[in-house]
Structure 1
Amino acid sequence: MNHLQNQVSPYLLQHKNNPVEWYPWGELALNKAINEDKPIILSIGYAACHWCHVMEHESFENLEVAELMNANFVCIKVDREERPDIDLIYMDALHAMGLQGGWPLNVFLMPDQKPFYGGTYFPKANWMQLLNSIHNAFKEHKSELQKSADGFAANLHDTNLGLYPLNLEELSPIIPRSMELISKGLDPVFGGTHKSPKFPIPSLSLLLESIPDKLRNLGHVGELADLQLTKMALGGIFDQLGGGFSRYSVDSEWFCPHFEKMLYDNAQLIRVYALAYQRSHNALYREVLLQSIDFLNTELKGDNGLYYTALDADSEGVEGLFYVWTFDELNHLLPYAKHQAFYDAYSISKHGNWEHGYNILFKKEVYLNATFEKEFEVLKIARNQRVRPATDTKQLLSWNALLAVGLLDAANVLEDDAILQDALRLVTHISQVLTDSKTNLFFHQATFANQPIMAFLDDLAAWGLALMKSYQVTGSSSYLAKAEQLFLYITIHHSNQQVFYNFHSSLNDQLIAPKFELVDSVCPSSNSMLCEFLMWLGFFNNDPAKTILAKDMLAAVLEQAQANPIYFANWLRIYSEWMENPRAIVKYNPQSTSKDQLKELNALCVPVENQSYRFMVCIGDRCLAPCDDINSLKAQLDAI
């Protein structure tokens, strides 16, 4: 048994019986590398990662490979979801080496933690050859390796961000041009980005949902947005039977998923489909939204009210086995002669529509799953008797906060009080489990091994947005008070001399380089979420200093955002909503006005406690004179 047996990460515990002498990241392993003058193998993955399992089985469970690793290296295992700061640094290092990233991420470090070579998945023979090559190079050419590592480490420092900020007040409209560029990067047949594998990028979908109607025809981005959401809803990437989305599709059609299901994807896609349903009243979107919420509550909700991070791709050692069906299995449960419409609707073939004779439930045309409710009830009973994929039981602040935002939007759109109460309870559970009001500390995850891991910037920024959304819904000043404490904490532990904020907390162990996360990928970047949090907090508390901080961040990033709008989509949405296409926001006194009275208004209506006025209309971060009757309010909105 190695040094992982006392960890809490399910990913690390998966490796506790490997013959490799794995260490968790920490002083014990790092000091061992220095004292014994050995290079470090840093291997990063996560519990639901299929190729991580493959490499473990082929190499890390193999005695011959383990002996080679143990003799010549200090071997460190890291759960990328437990320590995203470490993953961020060494994934950037891999990219700096000109190599493609992914997981498992295997990076070779000098004893001082500086990287000099790396890769992702290696077959056993390639891995052993590489181990021997690295060992020989370290013995015979250590100084050259150190020089290379010093260079990579120096380039990891984000020191030149935001040096040439744009003047936001003098910018010509940039959203129309961004829509044209985005449309060129989207698949006109199946939606989403052109390439495969195809990942949902919720920040991009949210940008396309947020733009005014007049911009939806530019480059046909509105049609392309709906095309993606419809194809994803029909595809194998969506679990037609149990609800919820897999992490990505291995093909361009959204047909074959990589079967792992992540909380962060589903949390954000709940919000996407809620807003898309609000705009379109498309019944398919509503069904996907409700099935996804049901999946999360059924499969990923813990006893403490927080949600787990993921379901594994594999069960019984086979990728996707829990989700797929042979024709004979289906025919036994649902005889073809009586259920031919079901077989046709879900593209079921006698020889399988996927590999090894298996079928993935996949719709080529729009059907509501409710149409086949009886068939699905039979299949659910049968599937629930199978060996289930493992659950990664980590509970992370950032992903739970993203879910709270999604559920609050879903509750608003569906006018569903049960979902609203669930969302507000989730916010309460986050506050109780992942924050400490006495010490004003914020934790990255609910459980820990030796000492708590302090929250990272994405945790804090997402939590800030959950507080802002809770305030929008309830008008309770308690959320604003929590948000002000949060802002102070971020200022103390994440700020620096630049306009952006450190991902890594000053309370955690220090790494070889500070990182400022800017790119919006499958999750919005921590700095873009923080920017939006500052916009809202400044707006609600009438605090222009915070709004100025947010605008400075936008000014510093917009040049990059215009050049690559798909991967700066969250930044562009914030800029559009607050600067270029600002929304009408009505602050109202809930003591004298009900929500029902405001339903007919084409504006976001936010209750505000203890205000002397009844209504105040704001456009972006600029507000008009207060008014005290509904007709005056309507006149102001009509004039706008």
Structure 2
Amino acid sequence: MSIKFPFFLLILMVFLGCNPKPNKVTHEHTNALIHETSPYLLQHAHNPVNWEAWLPEVLERAQKEDKLLLISIGYAACHWCHVMEKECFENPEVAKVMNEHFINIKIDREERPDVDQIYMDAIQMISGNGGWPLNIVALPDGRPFWGATYVPKENWMRSLEQLAELYQKDKPRITQYATDLGNGLHAINLVEHNKENDLFNLNQLEAAIHNWSLYFDTFLGGHKRAPKFMMPNNWDFLLHYATTQNRKDIMEVVDTTLTRMAFGGIFDHVGGGFSRYAVDTKWHIPHFEKMLYDNGQLISLYAKAYAVTKNELYKKVVQQTIAFTQEELLDESGGFYSSLDADSMDEHGELKEGAYYVWTKEELERLLGEDLDVFQDYFNINSYGLWEDENYVLIRDKTDEELAQKHGISTSELQEKMKADLAILRKERSKRPKPRLDDKILTSWNALMLKGLVDAYRYLGNDEYLSLALKNASFIQREMVKKDHSLYRNHKEGKSTINAFLEDYATLIDAYISLYEVTFDEQWLQNAKRLTDYAHQHFFDADSGMYFFTSDEDRSLIRRSIETNDNVISSSNSIMANSLFKLDKYFHGEGYDSIATQMLKNVQQDFDKRAQGFANWLNLVLYINQDFYEIALVGPDFKTMGQTIGAIYIPNSILAGSVSESNLELLQNREVLGKTLAYVCIEGACKLPVSTAKDVLEQIKLP
């Protein structure tokens, strides 16, 4: 849809950048955010700006006073959010302008993705750009008419003064503009109920992946662009496609990408875990914030890739990433915190991006001594690994075998030497001020981490990972699930708040299905079903056949969004559709499969041109277009057999198991006393029962 916007507003759009030194935080002022629990909101609680939280009573007051809303959205780990705070929001002169003309609302986008989605769409319609901090000026009823990301102080003040004056002098014009933009926000989010019978087929899928492959970076991995986001769902789907369709060319791209990401500076070689994205093409310089949602998804991805390739690098990445989350993000309750900041204090006591993670050559010489020769070759303490201000970010570009041969030592000797050197750096780094922690616990991000731990246990076989997963799942059930099977979004300091969004339900349903498949404890499967039924009752839109992002029990803003595009986190609707397809195998007759199929039909028209934006949906295309195996195990050794089968990467399958009869239809009438039997079924039609995992794998058509 093409919408024209008034030129005078576009003139006010400012996106100029600078990098001022942060000022020291003062506490001369305190605003309403002091009562919030979000670390991001609390960071602004002592600004002279009269910030308010996103609350119904604040919005009602804005309408009573006929005062414009200034809505500023960010998150705790956001570097440019901190920059704008220091330059603008801590400045009394700026605060005076804001307080005089606006009701100022601060939002943590991680707590309120529903609000963030709408205003992000708005700024992209206005300017074609987006990002955080996301600053919106809206009518008192919340309809936006102006937006910008980072704005330097003078431009910010000038823009706000002009906007306030325009509203006073020409309110009808501003209102009409906001109305047009609101209509546009509705229009771009419409999903039509596709009544055609045909589903996207394998030939169409192959063509779509061919178009997608034109953007692959076959040398450095990922896509041909910078910055490079890791996009776990892209490589998860392509791993699925490559293995089930026997596409060695696609598998090579997946391998290249996962290896280069693991070699890159985006992976923390000293402490484990991944940063959010790389600013360059070779995965070298990260935006140094570390997010739980990235790391949870990447644990899953690398665990699956290890199952396929047995590449020890992938196993090591899984182990080190889980170790990072345990050390830095795990609460004693079993929940995982949200993120570590990109910024930390440098040697001058000033907040600087990446200060915690970088090294000078002089530091490395002092710490490693004669070991530096091999270390600097391994991690490119040279022009390839140089960042800025004589700082290096560790990056690999050669295999252990290549470097061991070059230095005349065995591969195991090289690995032990690097392990010892990194331990020295780790000890030294522990003396530095750590990046700030965002210690709120979000349901959906914890669900992604739970899925990661389950996959790590499934494919690496480490019992500790299952223990961690069960502790996390118990935390979620105890703290985030209400008696009516609805969910909370957020948990902080022992208190759960905010009604959950579809993302929370979808990711948790998916995680619980996966947890059932490794434990065969039916409580997790029943929990998944209860969450699904609740979501269907309160989020489903019968007109489109899709699910809204927000519940019908919550107040709507401008629109109820329908999320379909798979981004850094897969869309809530694509996760729901995949889970509905699987749940139908366990609870046949509930109609879950027909809902999933209709959802797929509704979005498939965009697959051929933008496959990478629908990667998780494409998993469902594969499920429907190829044999999907229901593997039922019954008998005294069902768990042992299940572990053996589960450790093999078979994405087009589900597992069910019990020692005897079960209420699950898949397990009924299967028991033979004293024997453990496996039944491989396709759409309810089963092959002859077999008694070994090897026999099961022979009945499944693996490439």
TM range (shorter): over 0.9
Structure 1 residue identity aligned to 2:469: A
What CA deviation, in whole Å up to 9, does each residue of 1:399-453 have, x standing for no partner?
Answer: 11111111111111111122122212211221111112x3433110113899821
Q: How does 1:224-235 map to 2 (within 5 A)?
A: 224-235=253-264
- 2:634 is matched with which residue? 589
Q: Quick one: percent identity of the two aligned structures? A: 36
**Are residue 482 (structure 1) and residue 534 (structure 2) matched?**
no
Structure 1 residue identity aligned to 2:438: D
Distance 1:191 1:633, change over 3 A: closer
Kept in 1, the 8 Å contact 2:379–2:385? The answer is no
- 1:162 is matched with which residue? 192
- 2:214 is matched with which residue? 184
- 1:623 is matched with which residue? 685
Kept in 2, the 8 Å contact 1:182–1:221? The answer is no
Structure 2 CA distance for aligned equivalents of residues 41 and 594 of structure 1:
57
Structure 2 CA distance for aligned equivalents of residues 414 and 236 of structure 1:
25
Structure 1 CA distance for aligned equivalents of residues 323 and 552 of structure 2:
38
- 2:121 is matched with which residue? 92
- 2:406 is matched with which residue? none
What SS does structure 2 have at the residue aligned with 1:28? helix
What CA deviation, in whole Å up to 9, does each residue of 1:320-354 have, x standing for no partner?
Answer: 0000011122222112x343101121111499811
What CA deviation, in whole Å up to 9, does each residue of 1:583-640 have, x standing for no partner?
Answer: 4342111435453488478855623332321433233x45325636559867754799
- Report which stretch shifted further, 534-543 or 398-407: 534-543
**Are residue 293 (structure 1) and residue 322 (structure 2) matched?**
yes
**Are residue 333 (structure 1) and residue 382 (structure 2) matched?**
no
What SS does structure 1 have at the residue aligned with 2:636? coil
Structure 2 residue identity aligned to 1:333: L
- Report which stretch shifted further, 90-99 or 586-595: 586-595
Identify unmatched segments of 5+ residues in structure 1. none
- 1:129 is matched with which residue? 158
**Given the two structures, how large is their TM-score scaled by the length of structure 2?**
0.86
Q: How does 1:212-227 map to 2 (within 5 A)?
A: 212-213=242-243, 215=245, 217=247, 220-227=249-256
**Are residue 606 (structure 1) and residue 635 (structure 2) matched?**
no
Structure 2 CA distance for aligned equivalents of residues 439 and 605 of structure 1:
28
What SS does structure 2 have at the residue aligned with 1:255? coil
Distance 1:60 1:334, change over 3 A: same
Kept in 2, the 8 Å contact 1:473–1:607? The answer is no
Q: How does 1:218-257 map to 2 (within 5 A)?
A: 220-257=249-286
Structure 2 residue identity aligned to 1:245: F
Structure 2 CA distance for aligned equivalents of residues 380 and 478 of structure 1:
41
1:258 deviation in Å? 0.3
1:574 aligned residue (620, 635, 642): 620
1:344 aligned residue (369, 372, 377): 377
Structure 1 CA distance for aligned equivalents of residues 185 and 495 of structure 2:
29
Kept in 1, the 8 Å contact 2:582–2:654? The answer is no
- 2:434 is matched with which residue? 388
Q: How does 1:374-413 map to 2 (within 5 A)?
A: 374-413=420-459
**Are residue 112 (structure 1) and residue 141 (structure 2) matched?**
yes
What CA deviation, in whole Å up to 9, does each residue of 1:74-93 have, x standing for no partner?
Answer: 11000000000000111111
Kept in 1, the 8 Å contact 2:444–2:508? The answer is yes
1:129 deviation in Å? 1.8
- 1:193 is matched with which residue? 223
**Are residue 74 (structure 1) and residue 108 (structure 2) matched?**
no
1:483 deviation in Å? 1.9
1:467 aligned residue (512, 517, 526): 512
Kept in 2, the 8 Å contact 1:38–1:72? The answer is yes
- Report which stretch shifted further, 427-436 or 629-638: 629-638
Q: How does 1:361-380 map to 2 (within 5 A)?
A: 361-367=394-400, 371-380=417-426
**Are residue 504 (structure 1) and residue 537 (structure 2) matched?**
no
**Are residue 522 (structure 1) and residue 571 (structure 2) matched?**
no
**Given the two structures, how large is their TM-score scaled by the length of structure 1?**
0.94
- 2:181 is matched with which residue? 152
- 1:53 is matched with which residue? 82
- 2:294 is matched with which residue? 265
Kept in 2, the 8 Å contact 1:7–1:448? The answer is no
Kept in 2, the 8 Å contact 1:173–1:580? The answer is no
Structure 2 CA distance for aligned equivalents of residues 141 and 543 of structure 1:
59
**Are residue 23 (structure 1) and residue 52 (structure 2) matched?**
yes
Distance 1:172 1:290, change over 3 A: closer
Kept in 2, the 8 Å contact 1:327–1:349? The answer is no
Distance 1:165 1:330, change over 3 A: farther
- Report which stretch shifted further, 583-592 or 188-197: 583-592
2:387 aligned residue (340, 354, 369): 354
Structure 2 CA distance for aligned equivalents of residues 224 and 241 of structure 1:
26
1:175 deviation in Å? 2.3
Kept in 1, the 8 Å contact 2:200–2:621? The answer is no
- 1:454 is matched with which residue? 499
What SS does structure 2 have at the residue aligned with 1:441? coil
1:172 deviation in Å? 5.5
1:474 deviation in Å? 1.8
Distance 1:168 1:7, change over 3 A: same
Distance 1:634 1:203, change over 3 A: closer
1:58 deviation in Å? 0.6
What CA deviation, in whole Å up to 9, does each residue of 1:201-228 have, x standing for no partner?
Answer: 011010011114474648x322221111
2:479 aligned residue (405, 423, 433): 433
Structure 1 CA distance for aligned equivalents of residues 360 and 201 of structure 2:
58
Kept in 2, the 8 Å contact 1:65–1:128? The answer is yes
Structure 1 CA distance for aligned equivalents of residues 53 and 395 of structure 2:
41
Identify unmatched segments of 5+ residues in structure 2. 1-29, 346-350, 401-413, 671-676
- Report which stretch shifted further, 8-17 or 536-545: 536-545
Distance 1:370 1:392, change over 3 A: farther
Structure 1 CA distance for aligned equivalents of residues 588 and 384 of structure 2:
64
Structure 2 CA distance for aligned equivalents of residues 568 and 52 of structure 1:
29
Structure 1 residue identity aligned to 2:229: F
Kept in 2, the 8 Å contact 1:93–1:152? The answer is yes
What SS does structure 2 have at the residue aligned with 1:157? helix
Structure 1 CA distance for aligned equivalents of residues 127 and 649 of structure 2:
49
Structure 1 CA distance for aligned equivalents of residues 166 and 494 of structure 2:
35
**Are residue 552 (structure 1) and residue 601 (structure 2) matched?**
no
- 1:493 is matched with which residue? 538
Distance 1:251 1:216, change over 3 A: farther
Structure 2 residue identity aligned to 1:320: G
Structure 2 CA distance for aligned equivalents of residues 357 and 170 of structure 1:
52
- 1:319 is matched with which residue? 353
What CA deviation, in whole Å up to 9, does each residue of 1:469-521 have, x standing for no partner?
Answer: 11111222212221221122102221122211010122333222110000001
Structure 2 residue identity aligned to 1:419: Y
1:269 deviation in Å? 0.4
Kept in 1, the 8 Å contact 2:458–2:643? The answer is no
Structure 2 CA distance for aligned equivalents of residues 131 and 15 of structure 1:
19
User: Aligned-pair RMSD on alpha carbons?
Assistant: 2.4
Structure 2 CA distance for aligned equivalents of residues 37 and 389 of structure 1:
41
Distance 1:327 1:132, change over 3 A: same
Distance 1:511 1:229, change over 3 A: same
What CA deviation, in whole Å up to 9, does each residue of 1:343-396 have, x standing for no partner?
Answer: 121111499811111111111212486551111111111101110001101101
Kept in 2, the 8 Å contact 1:240–1:369? The answer is no
